[in-house]
Chain A
Amino acid sequence: MKMDSESTNQHHEAVCPGKKEKLVQLQTERPALDLDTVRARVAETKGPEFWRSLEELAGSAEFQEMMHREFPKGASEWLDGVSRRGFLKLMSASLALAGMTACTKQPLEPIVPYVRQPEDVVPGRPMFYATAFELSGYATPILVESHLFRPTKIEGNPQHPVSQGGTDVFAQASILGMYDPDRSQTITYLGETRTWGAFLEAFRAPLSIQKGLGGAGIRILTQTISSPTLADQMRSFLKAFPQAKWHVYDPGGRDNALAGAQMAFGQAVETQYKLDAADVIVSLDADFLASGFPGMTRYARDFASRRNPDAGAMNRLYVVESTPSPAGAKADHHLPMRAADIEGFARALASALGVHAGSGAQQGEAQRFLEAIAKELQAHRGSSVVIPGEHQPPAVHALAHAINQILGNVGKTVVFTDPVDANPVNQTDSLRDLVADMRGGKVDILIILGGNPAYESPADLGFADALKSTNIPMRVHLGLYHDETAELCQWHINETHYLEQWGDTRAYEGTVSIVQPLIAPLYSGRSKHEFVAYLSGLSEASGHDLVRSYWQKQHAGQDFELFWKRALNDGWIQGTAFEPKQVALKSEFGSPATVDANALEINYRRDPSVFDGRFANNGWLQELPKPMTKLTWDNPVMMAPVMADRLGLKSEDVIKISLNGKSIAAPLWLQAGHPDKSITVFLGYGRTRAGRVGTGAGYNAYEIRYSAMPWLATGVSIEKTGTTYKLASTQGYQTMETPVGERPLVRTTSLEDYKKDPEFAREEEPDADETLYPHGNGHIQPEGWDYTKEPYAWGMAIDLNKCVGCNNCIVACQSENNIPIVGKEQVNKGRHMHWLRVDAYYQGDRNNPRAHFQPVPCMQCEAAPCELVCPVGATVHSTEGLNDMVYNRCVGTRYCSNNCPYKVRRFNFLLFQDWETPQLKMMRNPDVTVRSRGVMEKCTYCVQRINQHRIDSEREDRKIADGELQTACQQSCPANAIVFGNINDPNSQVSKLKAQSRNYSLLADLNTRPRTTYLAEIKNPNPELQA
């Protein structure tokens, strides 16, 4: 959009309050990008070196304008029917009256003690319990903070041998899932509330008939189950009902991985990687650094541990991928490639390394890439690893196993074990068999334990149709939500959330964690364990007894009580990790697939935020900007900018995607680094019965997903519809301004150049005295305040080399600090409330850019520009260098955010916080104020934690030990990228990081002297590929 002087004038006029007709124009926030302008400008000018969006790369006018505003145009305007002036006139009378009684009198508050107080409870101090969050069978071990038995925050379990304290976004956000007011709260029959007794009554006769038939008419459909207890229960049920069948379906099932292992070794083994021992890592479309990849928390930690240019040898990561992902962003060399071509690449790579894999020279850039990788792998026998993507066909998995085997990596960087999945069948076949039985009239009782197959099963199987049309007399659904599947079953039993139940589960390498409840079920409900126990005739067995008695059987020794208590206390059971398996390679990799080089392919991915759809009603995840696109509340179709240019498409155009006679309409998002002739759709959206948050968001990609090709299909056609759809991306917002080419915000170089000039990221910072501010800091503290004399001066160092952009810190912060969600419309106005954002920067060629992640919390500037402009002293410095935000003083002028060069301050434009829903009140952190409308807020370095630790240490007459006090973002960071501590202690971890030559400040030339600093990113490229 061109903006000449005339339209600029109009704009000024429009801002003038009272002119209603002009104000309306403001509602067109963020005008659509004019593609021709972009193309022309990209062609003629050299854009910025680092860019966040294609708009920025093109230097478009609306981007420029946005950069100069803390909040985008329209964010601060009153856009309702009543004009602002009119509103003020109306309100003036009442405001005058309000002035008289502004002095508020607090209402009387009740205070409710226990009748009999539990022995260990100290009111006012949280307790932490170890349990585990499970996703598709894989556990993330966690500690849960509990205030008087209300769980409020998920933390990583730092003592767990596998996760070592990291979590992923799904585990972090699961606490909101438990308190979700839209969860199903009762047992229903045809939509009407029933009691458990009524269900038992209705179920008794059909079940006893089946008893006589050996259960021939019973089918149980579960998701992937790793729980040893539940698996044991299922097996004993199948013993009692030998004709009954257990089907498994998970839309993200690992059929390809298991089939690949079958192909390579003749048995379904699970692959684990030891990335801390790997010098060279090759990913064949594996996004092993994104939430949802089994073992991601550990992989991120191990990967990051080898990204220190100053200590030990850095690893080198090659990524060939079909959809831009965090792993691709962290790669030293990145090659966008259509998913269908990756098998050919894998065969060629295997051949080059001496595996007889048939065929395969690659063309041009790919061949160069391949040769370099092959050479590197040869040179790092036993210390390299090839990771196949879950979405790739079995042959690629088999080839990767063969490569790892021939390189001698097995046993060193690669380990094979039994699968975590207790019933590792081909899940697509399993579901297909079930549907055939349903249609064949063989099913009398269908029990769906969790999952939402009516929504998430492949379109061609017609599971939902079969459920609807066939006359199965007894259809029972056990689930957290009354969802699409529950709607098609007569009986729906409300399930307990994992934070409300007993259970057990396995981490990716087999270690068992006991799942213990943090709270009594909010809406009664049954767990899967309890339900299966009922089927086996134990109708009132408690989850606790079931799990405990299973482990009592497993534990041979006399000291079971001790064993059990230790398992609960530690959060895992010692010695339950799987033993590595010895496997023999079969040299059979099938025949190379023929790939049409010009056919358009479609990739299916689980959404990085709502996964396969199960988190669709989780507002934190919906509003979490996705790692690469920074989109919220929607799933786009990703396409390469070059392909869009060719087709005359642009971001937010709605396209019709047709495959095998079915079609969906979906909005487009141009993603730099996406391969050409390929599109990626994301699963998990387009829910019709998710709840008030998730229903209706996005499009449903399952409608064109088929069982034969669940991750990748060709033969897809796309068509422009001519309509557009507004997407809410935060990528263009909160952009900091730096002159092109000077003092970039993300600083990066190669290892080679870093060794030549270790100080490259440093810049000469202005002298502390060169400031117009009163000396020392700000205007509140006495002049010349000397922070070095304080016992503590808080600071943070964020290692850009380690950050994998997984977003875990954002959700951890949201949970810890009671940060509200605002909804898509408000995100589009730039009013999202996250205190911590993770900026994604791209560098270089838009077809294959490098990408960088940069988490940005409040910088806690020593000379904070925000403080000087606050008319009421609502933001002032503490003696320890925190930039305090005093909510009760804030009158909402927003001067501070206007003056913040880092754009980290967030303003409650509306009453975003839910003050009514009782469940959500229970979830809040009682140590943090719940902010209301009209108040500015921002990162406080988790000052509630600082205060708690300071008080505890003072009571014990000692100093806070380094590492004892962790901020929420730091605590659960899987990559250990965020380090917080006392910079007055030269031996603290944070001081040591800040002393490194890679350390730099953002916008240091402004002389704000930020306490949050960054360690520059050092890539480790292969010199041969660089030439």
Chain B
Amino acid sequence: MAAIALWACIEFQRSPYVTYAAVAKPQPVPFSHQHHVAGLGIDCRYCHTSVEVSSFAGIPPTKTCMNCHQQIWTAAPLLEPVRESFRSGKSLVWTRVNDLPDFVYFNHSIHINKGVGCNTCHGPVDRMPLMYNYASLQMEWCLDCHRAPQKYLRPRDQVFNMRYEQPSGAKPITVGGKQYTDQLALGTDLVKEYKLRTVSDITSCSTCHR
């Protein structure tokens, strides 16, 4: 009985109710990544400018929205909060989607640099009309990759490719003149190529906690 209660507790803790995984949070503007990324082909970095150099990927300032929306959809009622922000100089207040606990220190730049694709963690953002966090963002999920990064790494030039698929017999990938049909083979080579620190290194507590 106790064991079942404990199991229930743990499963509850992993449920989207707690983790918000796949739950869209309330936002001031129903911004569609699907439309902007897949529909219009805008690169991630057009808005998330600091993702390659900083711990924080960056949330675009209102100005970034208005670059286009001064010209198009200038009267759309949905965009009124954006225009209002631009007029008044008061920031839009979004709800944070991928929200780590305050004792976790995640750095985007190093993940990008080591060949972790955006959608490895954020999921198919280009198919999300409303943004939600794809993964649980719980420690076991982080450690899944930190313990075996070769399962997920991809070539650096594919990091921002939202439709990237891991190599398979049907769809091999060529990197540095070598053809891969298997993710583990590719990942293992990339771990070396990108000089990843050892698994012991990146599972040390102070890697993320301090």
Output the least CB separation between A166 and chain B (Å): 26
Output the least CB separation between B92 and chain A (Å): 7
A951 contact from B13, B92, B93, B110, Cβ within 8 A: B110
Known contacts A105-B18, A122-B50, A123-B50; is-contact A954 B200 (Cβ 8 Å): no
Q: How far is the CA of A884 from the CA of B203 in the complex (A)?
A: 12
Q: Which residues does chain B contribute within 8 Å of A951, judged by CB atoms?
A: 107, 109-110
Which of the candidate stretches A113-121, A448-456, A970-978 sits at the interface with the other chain? A113-121
Q: Which residues does chain B contribute within 8 Å of A878, judged by CB atoms?
A: 201, 204-207
Q: Which residues does chain B contribute within 8 Å of A888, judged by CB atoms?
A: 101, 103, 209
Nearest residue in A to B94 (C-beta to C-beta)? A111
Q: How far is the CA of A116 from the CA of B91 in the complex (A)?
A: 9
Q: How far is the CA of A617 from the CA of B50 in the complex (A)?
A: 39
Known contacts A123-B50, A884-B204, A930-B102; is-contact A116 B12 (Cβ 8 Å): no
Which of the candidate stretches A46-54, A531-539, A939-947 sits at the interface with the other chain? A939-947
Known contacts A116-B62, A123-B54; is-contact A955 B110 (Cβ 8 Å): yes
Q: Which residues does chain B contribute within 8 Å of A117, judged by CB atoms?
A: 61, 63
Output the least CB separation between B100 and chain A (Å): 9
Interchain CB contact under 8 A, A880 and B210: no
Judged by a CB distance under 8 angstroms, whether A100 is at the interface is: yes
B102 contact from A113, A781, A886, A929, Cβ within 8 A: A929
Known contacts A928-B210, A954-B113, A954-B195; is-contact A100 B9 (Cβ 8 Å): yes
Q: Which residues does chain A contribute within 8 Å of B63, judged by CB atoms?
A: 114-117
Residues of chain A in range 86-108 having any CB-CB distance to chain B below 8 Å: 100, 103, 105-106, 108
Q: Which residues does chain B contribute within 8 Å of A125, judged by CB atoms?
A: 50, 53-55
Judged by a CB distance under 8 angstroms, whether A782 is at the interface is: yes
Judged by a CB distance under 8 angstroms, whether A876 is at the interface is: yes
Judged by a CB distance under 8 angstroms, whether A957 is at the interface is: yes
Known contacts A116-B62, A122-B50, A888-B209; is-contact A879 B56 (Cβ 8 Å): no
Known contacts A115-B89, A123-B50, A951-B109; is-contact A882 B206 (Cβ 8 Å): yes
Interchain CB contact under 8 A, A109 and B99: yes
Judged by a CB distance under 8 angstroms, whether B198 is at the interface is: yes
Interchain CB contact under 8 A, B90 and A115: yes
Judged by a CB distance under 8 angstroms, whether A927 is at the interface is: yes
Q: Which residues does chain A contribute within 8 Å of B91, judged by CB atoms?
A: 112-115
Q: How far is the CA of A793 from the CA of B116 in the complex (A)?
A: 27
Nearest residue in B to A954 (C-beta to C-beta)? B110
Interchain CB contact under 8 A, B210 and A947: yes
B62 contact from A115, A781, A886, A954, Cβ within 8 A: A115
Q: How far is the CA of A125 from the CA of B108 in the complex (A)?
A: 12
A115 contact from B54, B86, B99, B205, Cβ within 8 A: B86
Q: How far is the CA of A5 from the CA of B135 in the complex (A)?
A: 62
Judged by a CB distance under 8 angstroms, whether A887 is at the interface is: yes
Interchain CB contact under 8 A, A884 and B101: no
Q: How far is the CA of A113 from the CA of B103 in the complex (A)?
A: 22
Q: Which residues does chain B contribute within 8 Å of A940, judged by CB atoms?
A: 206, 210
Q: How far is the CA of A831 from the CA of B91 in the complex (A)?
A: 42
Known contacts A106-B99, A117-B61, A954-B195; is-contact A886 B205 (Cβ 8 Å): yes
B105 contact from A114, A879, A886, A927, Cβ within 8 A: A927
Judged by a CB distance under 8 angstroms, whether A918 is at the interface is: no
Judged by a CB distance under 8 angstroms, whether A110 is at the interface is: yes
Q: How far is the CA of A109 from the CA of B205 in the complex (A)?
A: 25
Residues of chain B in range 125-183 having any CB-CB distance to chain A below 8 Å: none
Nearest residue in A to B12 (C-beta to C-beta)? A103
Interchain CB contact under 8 A, B25 and A105: no
Q: How far is the CA of A116 from the CA of B210 in the complex (A)?
A: 32
Cβ proximity bits B76-88 to A, threshold 8 Å, 1 near / 0 not: 0000000001100
Output the least CB separation between B168 and chain A (Å): 30
Known contacts A103-B9, A110-B95, A880-B204; is-contact A927 B210 (Cβ 8 Å): yes
Interchain CB contact under 8 A, B55 and A124: yes
Nearest residue in B to A956 (C-beta to C-beta)? B113
Nearest residue in A to B85 (C-beta to C-beta)? A115
Interchain CB contact under 8 A, B54 and A124: yes
Residues of chain A in range 267-306 having any CB-CB distance to chain B below 8 Å: none
Interchain CB contact under 8 A, B205 and A103: no
Residues of chain A in range 866-915 having any CB-CB distance to chain B below 8 Å: 876-880, 882, 884, 886-888
Interchain CB contact under 8 A, B103 and A929: yes
Query: Between A and B, how many residue pairs show CB distances below 8 Å?
Result: 136
Interface residues on A, range: 35 or more
Known contacts A951-B107, A951-B109; is-contact A887 B209 (Cβ 8 Å): yes
Q: How far is the CA of A887 from the CA of B61 in the complex (A)?
A: 34
Interface residues on B, range: 35 or more
Interchain CB contact under 8 A, B55 and A887: no
Judged by a CB distance under 8 angstroms, whether B185 is at the interface is: no
Judged by a CB distance under 8 angstroms, whether B73 is at the interface is: no
Output the least CB separation between A965 and chain B (Å): 14
Judged by a CB distance under 8 angstroms, whether B59 is at the interface is: yes
Cβ proximity bits B21-65 to A, threshold 8 Å, 1 near / 0 not: 000011000000000000000000000001001111011111100
Interchain CB contact under 8 A, B105 and A116: no
Interchain CB contact under 8 A, B110 and A115: no
Q: Which residues does chain A contribute within 8 Å of B205, judged by CB atoms?
A: 876, 878, 884, 886
Known contacts A879-B200, A879-B201; is-contact A113 B109 (Cβ 8 Å): no
Q: Which residues does chain B contribute within 8 Å of A943, judged by CB atoms?
A: 206, 210
Q: How far is the CA of A947 from the CA of B205 in the complex (A)?
A: 12
Interchain CB contact under 8 A, A105 and B209: no
Interchain CB contact under 8 A, B95 and A113: no
Q: How far is the CA of A606 from the CA of B110 in the complex (A)?
A: 49
Q: How far is the CA of A782 from the CA of B99 in the complex (A)?
A: 33
Residues of chain A in range 687-742 having any CB-CB distance to chain B below 8 Å: none
Output the least CB separation between A626 and chain B (Å): 31
A113 contact from B25, B53, B55, B59, Cβ within 8 A: B59
Interchain CB contact under 8 A, B96 and A108: yes
Q: How far is the CA of A599 from the CA of B19 in the complex (A)?
A: 76
Output the least CB separation between A108 and chain B (Å): 5
Residues of chain A in range 243-276 having any CB-CB distance to chain B below 8 Å: none
Interchain CB contact under 8 A, B61 and A116: yes
Most buried by B among A100, A888, A946: A888
Q: How far is the CA of A782 from the CA of B204 in the complex (A)?
A: 12
Q: How far is the CA of A680 from the CA of B86 in the complex (A)?
A: 63
Q: How far is the CA of A244 from the CA of B9 in the complex (A)?
A: 78
Interchain CB contact under 8 A, A103 and B96: no
Nearest residue in A to B199 (C-beta to C-beta)? A879
Q: How far is the CA of A105 from the CA of B20 in the complex (A)?
A: 9
Q: Which residues does chain B contribute within 8 Å of A100, judged by CB atoms?
A: 9
Output the least CB separation between B133 and chain A (Å): 11
Interchain CB contact under 8 A, A105 and B17: yes
B210 contact from A114, A876, A944, Cβ within 8 A: A944
Interchain CB contact under 8 A, A957 and B195: yes
Q: How far is the CA of A439 from the CA of B130 in the complex (A)?
A: 75
Interchain CB contact under 8 A, A122 and B17: no
Most buried by B among A123, A124, A887, A927: A124
Q: How far is the CA of A575 from the CA of B26 in the complex (A)?
A: 59
Q: Which residues does chain B contribute within 8 Å of A887, judged by CB atoms?
A: 103, 209
Interchain CB contact under 8 A, B56 and A110: no
Interchain CB contact under 8 A, B210 and A113: no
Most buried by B among A115, A123, A790, A878: A115
Interchain CB contact under 8 A, A114 and B101: no
Q: Which residues does chain B contribute within 8 Å of A109, judged by CB atoms?
A: 95-96, 99
Output the least CB separation between B149 and chain A (Å): 14
Nearest residue in B to A114 (C-beta to C-beta)? B61
Known contacts A115-B85, A124-B50, A951-B109; is-contact A884 B58 (Cβ 8 Å): no
Additional A-B contact list (17), CB under 8 Å, known A112-B93, A124-B55, A879-B204: A100-B9, A108-B26, A110-B95, A110-B96, A113-B61, A114-B62, A115-B90, A122-B50, A782-B200, A879-B198, A887-B103, A929-B102, A940-B206, A943-B210, A947-B206, A955-B53, A955-B113
Cβ-closest 4 pairs across A and B: A124-B56, A878-B204, A124-B54, A114-B61
Residues of A within 8 A of B (CB): 100, 103, 105-106, 108-117, 122-125, 781-782, 790, 876-880, 882, 884, 886-888, 927-930, 940, 943-944, 946-947, 951, 954-955, 957
